[in-house]
Amino acid sequence: MVYRSLAAALMLMLAMPLQAQQGPAAHFFVYQVNPGAQAKFEEGYRHHLGWHRSHHDPLAWYGWTVSDGKRDGYFIDASVGEPFAAFDHRVDVEQDGADFRASVTPYVTPQAQLAYELLPDVSFGTPLENHKPSDTVQVTYFDVRPGMEMRFEHALRAARRVLASTPGAPPHTWYRLVTGGDKPQYMLMVARANWASYEGFRQDIAELLANDQNALRDFTDAVRSSDTESWEYHPDLSNLP
C-alpha cells in the first residue's frame, strides 16, 4: 500500500507542469515596431506566445506598449520573478529563437536587452512577481552617481516607510540594473489603474522625503538624472503560466 501510494504521488508530480521558482531576476527586452507593421507584429507575437504555451514554458512573459515619453510606441516584453539561473535552462532555446525570428523579427528593430535585480527591501509591493500586473505602469529610470548607491538605497528605504503609512499609495517596485546599460542605474515601476489614479497619488520620491532632510539629501546627492514614461499592459501579448 505504501509503495503504491508513493508511486501514485510520484506519477502525479511528473504529470504536473514545471513551475518556475521565485527569484529576483527581471529580464526586459525593448523593440521598436517598424513603421506600418503594428498589426503584423501583434499577430506574429501572439503566434510566438503560442509556441511558449505549447512547449510548457514555466516563465511568465509580460507585454507592454510605451504610451508616452521618448520611446512612445515601443514594445517591451519581460520575464520577471524567477532566479537568474532560470535563463540558463530556458525551454528549447534554439527553437524558441527560430520561431521568434520567423514570427516577430521581420516587424521590429531590437533596441535593448536589460537584466535587473528586484530590490524587495526598498519596494512597496511587487505586482509582477505576484502575477498581478496593473493596466498601466509609470516607469522612471534613475542614473545614480558612482559610489552613491548606498546613500540612494538608504533614501529609498525611507520613502518606503512613508508609502507604508500613506493611504491609497500604489505599489512602488524597485529594480537595480545588473547588465545591459550604463551603471549604476535603477528602475522604479509604479502600478497605475488609469489616469484617474494620478488624482489620488502623484507624489514623486523627493516629495515623499520632504519631511526627512537626511534622506532627501542622500537622494538628491545621489541622483544624476531621471527619465519617466508610461507603459500600457497587453494581456493578449502576455503569457502567465
pLDDT of residue 15: 38
pLDDT of residue 62: 98
Q: Which three cell numbers stand for residue 44?
A: 506574429
pLDDT of residue 80: 97
Interval 186-230: pLDDT, tens: 999 999 999 999 999 999 999 999 999 999 999 999 999 999 999
CB 133 within 8 A of CB 80: no
Average pLDDT score, the chain: 92
pLDDT of residue 22: 86
Q: Which three cell numbers stand for residue 119?
A: 530590490
Residue ranges of domains in the chain, CATH in brackets: 20-117 (3.30.70.100), 118-232 (3.30.70.100)
Interval 1-14: pLDDT, tens: 444 443 444 344 33
Looking at beta carbons, which pairs linking 34-39 to residues 24 or more positions away fall under 8 Å?
Answer: 34/107, 34/108, 34/109, 37/106, 37/107, 37/108
pLDDT of residue 83: 96
Averages of pLDDT over each 10 residues, the chain, 241 residues: 43 40 93 98 98 95 97 97 93 92 97 98 98 98 98 98 97 98 97 95 97 98 98 97 85
pLDDT of residue 7: 42
